[in-house]
Amino acid sequence: MRAFGSVGGLPRTIASARGAYVTDVDGIEYVDLVGSWGPALLGHAHPEVVEAVREAASRGLSFGAPTEGEAELAELVIDRMTVGATRAVEKVRLVSTGTEATMTAIRLARGATGRDLLIKFAGHYHGHSDGLLAESGSGVATLGLPGSAGVPEPIAGLTLVLPYNDLDAVRAAFAAHPGRIAAIIAEAAGANAGVLVPDSGFNAALVDLAHAAGALVILDEVLTGFRVGPAGWWGLDPSYLPDLVTWGKVLGGGLPLAGLGGCAELMDRLAPLGPVYQAGTLSGNPLAVAAGIATLRLADADVYARVDAAAARVSGAVDAALTAAGIPHVISRAGSLFSIAFRSEPVRDYTDARAQDAFRYAAFFHALLDAGVAPPPSVFEAWFLSAAHDDESLERIEAALPAAAAAAAAS
Ligand code: PMP
């Protein structure tokens, strides 16, 4: 993902980052639109987050024992995931990466149902554990890979990969494998093959279909969680209840932290209370927890309003520049996340996302980079704004876009 695999050239080696900017080892500053692939909701190196980490470090780096911070962060998450009278999660387990969070959620779903099969959607990314790389998004999509070498067929065969936004395919899968499907895992809104917006009511329908078949739903909010709103994508339409939710990225405010949550009855099946094993030497690391607490405490309504406004402004400016250059394109937007697809029709699934003039993105990307603006180095990645993107940084992006669109048109 960092290697400029689809746009060519050498990735910049970053020396430091602050607010909306990253600076490379040659001292060149870029307006950053990657945000560490999501965590930097507040912008880079927010002084209060850095201070919280410094203070935590002064008390010790890792204890391998419970801390008050873990409980405090879990309570913050549970509070956020309570909208009106609806409480989406009652217990939280902290891990270090999104990959671990989804891996554990799947093991828990299998342990709870006694079933083996898993449904995932093409173009969705849930980390790099063995069963989840088939037709995966993110770097797997950027590099055009069907999956990964090194995954034994019996493991890959336990994952049923379905087209996104296709409830008939979900119904057909349950009909074809009665009593065998443990869970559906879905990104709350797809954001790893470009942005794939779920149809209205799609996530709720997944829950209905799964429950009717005795299966569970794992809502993967690793990327969307605490970014598109205080309670993630789920909080924008809390009309349904997923069984398990996973988080990462913003949860750790830039340090390695992720988690999963669900109702107590399900979460209590995790060891040591239950038989589903999970553990991690650095899980709930005190520095990461301190960064997470500080980040969630700072991410108030004003922060979300600023991030949303910045995303609207940049996506609007991208749209206008590409239109002015006469390039067929659509902008997909899910809350403050957006991406470009070089095609005329909307993008609903991974097949659509791949059916575009993706080659145009390389010229567009490099023209922006040359102008001191760093968008994600793949057309299959979302653009990440932050509350630190102020007028000055946004104007720099706007100023760079017309030449970048012209370069894309000429490519
Ligand atoms: N799920 C989703 C939706 C993600 O976007 C990602 C990371 N991009 C992951 C899981 C995996 O997280 P990590 O890279 O922390 O393992």
Domains 14-47+301-410 and 48-298 alike in fold: no
The residue assigned the tokens 């669109």 is 405
- CATH superfamily, with its number, for domain 14-47+301-410: Aspartate Aminotransferase, domain 1 (3.90.1150.10)
User: How far apart are the CA of 63 and the centre of ligand 1, in A?
Assistant: 26
Q: State which of 106, 247, 249, 380 you would mutate to test the pocket of ligand 1, scoring each by most atoms of that ligand within 8 A of its C-beta.
A: 249
Q: What DSSP designation does 12 have?
A: P
How high is the pLDDT of residue 138?
A: 85
Catalytic residue among 32, 91, 120, 249: 249
How high is the pLDDT of residue 2?
A: 86
How high is the pLDDT of residue 34?
A: 98
User: How far apart are the CA of 347 and the centre of ligand 1, in A?
Assistant: 21
Q: Is 91 a catalytic residue?
A: no
User: How far apart are the CA of 249 and the centre of ligand 1, in A?
Assistant: 8
Question: How far apart (Å, rounded) are the C-alpha atoms in residues 387 and 397?
Answer: 15
Which residue lies with its CA nearest to atom 10 of ligand 1? 126
Give me Rg for the CA atoms of the chain. 21
Structure tokens at 172: 């057909």
Helix (H, G, I), strand (E, B) or coil at 15: strand
Question: Residue 183's closest CA among 217, 213, 157?
Answer: 217
Q: How far is CA 111 from CA 95, 213, 284, in A?
A: 19, 16, 23
Q: Phi and psi (nearest 5°) for 309?
A: -65, -40
Residues 185 and 151: beta-carbon distance below 8 Å? no
Catalytic residue among 220, 243, 349, 352: 220
Residues 202-238 as b/e (b if ≥16 CB within 10 A, e otherwise) read bbbbbbebbeebebbbbbbbbbbbbbbbbbbbbbbeb
One-letter amino acid of 376: P
Question: How far apart (Å, rounded) are the C-alpha atoms in residues 314 and 393?
Answer: 10
> Reduced to 3 DSSP states, what percent helix, strand and coil does the chain have, rounded to the nearest 5?
40, 20, 45
Question: How far apart (Å, rounded) are the C-alpha atoms in residues 405 and 411?
Answer: 10
Q: Is 220 a catalytic residue?
A: yes
Question: How far apart (Å, rounded) are the C-alpha atoms in residues 240 and 97?
Answer: 26
Residues 300 and 387: beta-carbon distance below 8 Å? no
Pairing status of strand 86-87 against strand 216-220 = unpaired
Sorted by where each begins, the domain ranges of the chain are 14-47+301-410, 48-298
How high is the pLDDT of residue 202?
A: 98
How high is the pLDDT of residue 146?
A: 78
Kindly list the protein residues whose Cβ atom lies closer than 6 A to any atom of ligand 1.
Answer: 37, 97-99, 102, 125-127, 138, 187, 192, 220, 222-223, 248, 258
Helix (H, G, I), strand (E, B) or coil at 27: coil
User: How far apart are the CA of 33 and the centre of ligand 1, in A?
Assistant: 17
CB atoms < 10 A from the CB of 53, how many?
A: 21
Structure tokens at 15: 């020396």
The residue assigned the tokens 């970048």 is 404
Q: Is 249 a catalytic residue?
A: yes
Q: What's the length of the chain?
A: 411
Q: Phi and psi (nearest 5°) for 408?
A: -65, -40
How high is the pLDDT of residue 46?
A: 98
Mean pLDDT by 10 residues, the chain (411 residues): 91 98 98 98 98 98 97 98 95 98 98 98 96 86 84 92 98 98 98 98 98 98 98 97 98 98 98 97 98 98 98 98 98 98 98 97 98 98 98 98 98 93
Q: How does DSSP assign 364-386, residue by residue?
A: HHHHHHHTTEE--SSTTS-B---
Question: How far apart (Å, rounded) are the C-alpha atoms in residues 174 and 397?
Answer: 47
Question: How far apart (Å, rounded) are the C-alpha atoms in residues 75 and 350?
Answer: 36
Which CATH number does 48-298 carry? 3.40.640.10
Q: What DSSP designation does 143 have?
A: T
